[in-house]
């Protein structure tokens, strides 16, 4: 599915799922703006793309800052062109019992995981409206479908992303802009490996007998931002190996 001539902004593109999405969309023909607070990781992703004949730039950005988003979007426009694809992937996680979650910890989670996608979409949508075409994919979480102990702040933030997805889909459906969500389920990433979960043991008892791969999410994202998905909007496309049948 060709994305030739398109410019994609992928937040959190420096590793894991975000990196896989950047690489896949570059293979599809899009020029990629790798947005991440981690400059080293973003550079690695961009180098992988550029070495294989694609086009990618590095944008160091805090997605919870409207000023930082504006500055890096201007740079993206100047170097690649107007972005008409946005993948809101940047996020943080945490395992804290509900009664131990401080206001500071809650605010940080909401700033990055919910305010970030909101502000990024608000910044990029004008270019999509001008083009009469746009694709937004929000990476949420399967924890919003099945719940998760000691992650109430994380689940709440990602549940907000799912709601934002539906609201934007309804608002821009007649404008050529689609908005969908992918809630990954148990995908083997550095973030998951850094959690208290026993990744290998949990994967062994899952329906498919394995953890998901970042490339599994990237493949779904590739479809949702393509012309083939032009009549798909406001949907939650679960990529979880059958862990949650919702």
Q: Is the pLDDT of residue 82 over 90?
A: yes
**Quick one: CA dihedral 123, 127, 130, 133, positive or negative?**
negative
pLDDT of residue 120: 98
| pLDDT tens readout for residues 164-209 | 999 999 999 999 999 999 999 877 777 766 666 666 776 667 787 7
Q: Is the pLDDT of residue 106 over 60?
A: yes
| pLDDT tens readout for residues 112-155 | 999 999 999 999 999 999 999 999 999 999 888 888 999 999 99
Domain 7-229: what homologous superfamily? NAD(P)-binding Rossmann-like Domain (3.40.50.720)
58 φ/ψ angles, rounded to the nearest 5 degrees = -105, 130
Cα 166 to Cα 121: distance, rounded to the nearest angstrom = 13
Cα 158 to Cα 144: distance, rounded to the nearest angstrom = 7
Task: Confirm whether 223 is a catalytic residue.
Answer: no
Q: What is the pTM of this model?
A: 0.94
**Residue among 154, 223, 231, 244 flagged as catalytic:** 154
Cα 191 to Cα 215: distance, rounded to the nearest angstrom = 15
Report domain extents, the chain.
7-229
Eight-class DSSP state of 113? I
Which residue in 181, 173, 159, 183 sits closest to 110, CA to CA?
159
């Amino acid at each position: 599915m060709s994305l030739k001539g398109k410019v994609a902004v992928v937040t959190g593109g420096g590793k894991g799922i975000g990196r896989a999405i950047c690489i896949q969309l570059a293979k599809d023909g899009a020029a990629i703006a790798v947005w991440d607070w981690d400059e080293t990781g973003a550079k690695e992703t961009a180098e992988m793309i550029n070495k294989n004949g694609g086009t990618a730039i590095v944008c160091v950005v805090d997605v919870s800052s409207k000023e930082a988003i504006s500055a890096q979007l201007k740079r993206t426009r100047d170097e690649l062109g107007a972005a008409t694809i946005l993948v809101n992937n940047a996020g943080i996680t945490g395992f804290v019992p509900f009664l131990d979650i401080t206001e500071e910890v809650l605010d940080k989670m909401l700033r990055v995981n919910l305010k970030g996608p909101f502000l990024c979409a608000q910044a990029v949508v004008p270019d999509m409206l001008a083009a009469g075409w746009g694709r937004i994919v929000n990476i949420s979480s399967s924890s919003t479908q099945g719940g998760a102990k000691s992650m109430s702040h994380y689940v709440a933030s990602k549940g907000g992303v799912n709601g934002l997805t539906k609201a934007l889909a309804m608002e821009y459906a007649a404008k050529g802009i689609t908005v969908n969500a992918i809630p990954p389920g148990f995908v083997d990433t550095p973030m998951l490996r850094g959690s208290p979960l026993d990744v290998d043991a949990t994967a062994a008892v899952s329906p498919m007998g394995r953890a998901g791969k970042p490339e599994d999410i990237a493949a779904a994202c590739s479809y949702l931002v393509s012309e083939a998905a032009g009549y798909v909007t406001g949907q939650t496309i679960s990529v979880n190996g059958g862990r949650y049948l919702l």
